[in-house]
Amino acid sequence: MVNHGAVYADAAAQLLGEYEPGVCFFLSSPRRTLLAKGEWARLWMQPGEGSPQALSQRVNELLAAAGRTGGESIVVGAIPFDLTKPAELVVPLSAHWAGPLSFSGEDGGEAARGGEAGRGSRAREQTVPGPGYEVSMHPAPEYYKQSVKEAVRRMNQGLLQKVVLSRTLQLTSAEPIDLSRLLRNLARHNPQGYTFAVNLGGGEGGLARKAGGSAGSKSAGVRTLIGASPELLITKTGLSIRANPLAGSAPRSDDPAEDERRAAALLVSAKDRFEHKLVVEAVEAALHPFCRSLEVPVGPSLVQTETMWHLSTDIYGELADREVTVLDLALSLHPTPAICGTPTGLARETILEAEPFERGFFTGTVGWCDAKGDGEWIVTIRCAEVEDRSLRLYAGAGIVADSSAEAELAETAAKFRTLLLAMGLNDPQLAAGVSAEEGL
């Protein structure tokens, strides 16, 4: 029998401690923490069947079947960037809920508060997985810069408005990676964001290169998508919805005056505001047909993570039809210009040409949906796929006509370092190696 009782008495920290790689789904947000265990049923779809309508229908059928067993059904998992590829969605055996995660004292109170104290708390964390890494980057810095220049050339010809180009950083350790510790480190450094871990099963999956390239890890062990995203795609409760697109960013500084200067500069940057405007307009256009009312602020605001400033817009709406599910909305939004580009079709073609790897679940969406159609889905960025001793990080940058190839390369490098530090991979030689290979 499926047991989906909401156990709000469980402490969020306890749920984090109970996370078990290979059998659990974990998602913490500023509002709640979810730990789903086991697998009652799995969504199976043939390659090429993953249209938004087909995927939503199959999820509804799966939830209805689970509901007939007498339990409150919920689907959890990850949807890939490319909807023609299989999703990883399951009905778990049990789902346990708590309030938002919080840390205190030596367990990360400074990190939860952010700022200089939060950045200093890294010194207390143990490195994961240990000293000594083999590091490779795909594509190489010069290749990436040429791709950015080609994208800008197309924009100057009026063919593109924006495209997001990504890179990967592959780390191989001499020891197996401690996923539970990795997840705790990410949660500690991401108290206002969305920290997740999704079981992707075994095999190469998203770690594989495109045909003709070298394969990733050949380990038959558990493969896990893990990360700490700052970006909410969509959340729904009853008729109420909220989306929070982010686009346009700048790295923070340890110097308070410089940090303030960077934030102010980002807020008035014409390049970043244009990039952000494209995303907000696309989100508004996708949600409008579903809504009785939709509130979109005139301009963006600033939000901060421990290491980055972002332009942010909070969009609130009221649905016209209660039968519309959060997954319907997520699939109508995906992929937004924040992770693909504008126009979508041409941006997708540019990505396929420029990126010498499969994105897999990077820039997809992670979340949950219940039988009432309520739920929460986040944009799968600031993430990595982990398998045995191998860890592949992903980072992308939004390219517009005013973009500089050097600046976009530096942004991907900053995002790599941000994720490494948040994971507790604060090895000086590794950080220096990433910077050196970027030419920074």
Active site residues: 162, 231
Element (H, E) at 430: helix 428-438
Angle formed at CA 70 by CA 68 and CA 76, multiple of 5 degrees: 80
- CB 225, CB 78: distance < 8 Å: yes
Residues present in the chain in total: 440
- CA 168 remoteness from chain centre: 14
Q: In this structure, are residues 207 and 392 in contact, taking their beta carbons and an 8 Å threshold? A: yes
Q: Is 185:112 a contact under the CB 8 Å cutoff?
A: no
Q: DSSP E strands: which ranges in 324-374?
A: 341-342, 365-370
Cα(281)–Cα(273) distance, integer angstroms: 12
CA–CA separation, 342 vs 253, rounded Å? 31
- The b/e string for 361-379 (b: 16+ C-beta within 10 A; e otherwise) is bbbbbbbbbbbbbbbbbbb
The dihedral formed by the CA atoms of 77, 25, 166 and 278, expressed in degrees to the nearest 10: 60
